[in-house]
Structure 1
Amino acid sequence: MTALAPPSPRASRSGPLQIPARRRSPWRAIAAVVVTAVVVVAFWSVQISWDRLADLPADIGRYLWLMFSSPEWSKLPEALWQTWRSIEMAWVGTILGIVLATPLSLIAARGFGPVWLRGILRLVFSVIRAVPELIIAIIILSVTGLTPLTGALALAVNGIGTLGKWGYEAVEAVPPGPIEAARAAGGSTAQVLRWGVWPQAQPVFLSFWLYRFEINVRSSAVLGLIGVGGIGDMLTSYTQYREWSTVGMLLIVVIVVTMAIDAASGALRRRIMEGPRVR
Structure 2
Amino acid sequence: MTALHDGKASAPATPAPARRSPWLHPGRIAIAVAVVALLVWAFQGIGFRGLGASWPQVLAAIGRGFAEPDWAYVYDGSGEDLLSALLVTVAIAFFGTVLAVFFAAPLAFLAARRPGIRRILLPGVTGVGLTVLRTFPDLILAVIFVVIVGPGPFAGALAIGVGSIGMLGRLFAEEIEKLPPGPDEALTAAGAARAHVLVYAQLPRLVPHFLSLALNRFEISVRSAAILGMVGAGGIGTPILFAVSSRSWDRVAIILLGVVVTITLIDAVSGALRRRLR
Pairwise CA distance, 1:176: 2.2
2:187 maps to 1:178: no
1:18-68 deviation line (CA, Å, top 9, x unaligned)? 6999xx997776555444323212212322234x39997x67863542332
Q: Would you say 1:195 and 2:165 are equivalent positions?
A: no
> Secondary structure of the residue that 1:47 maps to in structure 2?
coil
Q: Match of 2:43?
A: 43
CA contact (8 A) 1:71 1:245 kept: yes
- For the 8 Å contact 2:208–2:277, the answer to whether it is kept is yes
CA distance in 1, matches of 2:273, 2:54: 44
CA distance in 2: counterparts of 1:144 and 1:222, whole angstroms: 18
- Cα distance between partner residues in 1 of 2:97 and 2:270: 14
Aligned residues: 262
Q: Structure 2 vs 1, CA of residues 227 and 19 (structure 1 numbering), >3 Å: closer, same or farther?
A: same
Give unpaired runs (5+ residues) of structure 2: 1-7, 76-80
Structure 1 unmatched ranges of 5 or more? 1-7, 274-279
* Cα distance in 2 for residues equivalent to 1:54 and 1:207: 49
Structure 2 CA distance for partners of 1:17 and 1:243, relative to 1, 3 Å: closer
Question: CA shift at 1:238, angstroms?
Answer: 1.2
Match of 1:233 among 217, 223, 238: 238
TM alignment of 1:20-39, pairs within 5 A = 32-39=32-39
Q: Matches of 2:48 and 2:206 in 1, distance apart?
A: 49
Go from structure 1 to structure 2 and tell me whether the alpha carbon gap of 1:60 and 1:128 turns closer, same or farther (over 3 Å shift).
farther
d(CA) in 2 for partners of 1:54, 1:113: 66
Equivalent positions of 1:6-155 (< 5 A) are 10-11=10-11, 13-16=12-15, 32-50=32-50, 52=51, 62-77=60-75, 78-111=81-114, 112=117, 114-155=119-160
For the residue of structure 1 that corresponds to 2:74, the secondary structure is helix
1:205 matched to 2:204: no
Q: How does 1:223-262 map to 2 (within 5 A)?
A: 223-262=228-267
Query: Which amino acid letter does the alignment assign opposite residue 14 of structure 2?
Result: G
Once the two structures are TM-superposed, the CA of residue 253 in structure 1 deviates from its matched residue by 0.9
| Alignment match of 1:166 (pick from 166, 171, 182) | 171
SS at match of 2:209: helix
TM-score, structure 1 as length reference: 0.84
C-alpha change, 1:258 and 1:20, in structure 2 (3 Å) is closer
Identity of aligned residues (%): 37
User: Within 2, Cα distance between the matches of 1:61 and 1:55?
Assistant: 9
Instruction: Decide which moves more: 260-269 or 29-38.
Output: 29-38
In structure 1, the residue matched to 2:3 is none
**Residue matched to 1:219:** 224
Query: Do the aligned partners of 1:72 and 1:246 also contact (CA within 8 Å) in 2?
Result: yes
Q: For residue 76 of structure 1, what is the amino acid of its counterpart?
A: V
Secondary structure class of the residue paired with 2:266: helix
Residues 223 and 234 (structure 1), Cα distance of their counterparts in 2 relative to 1, 3 Å cut: same
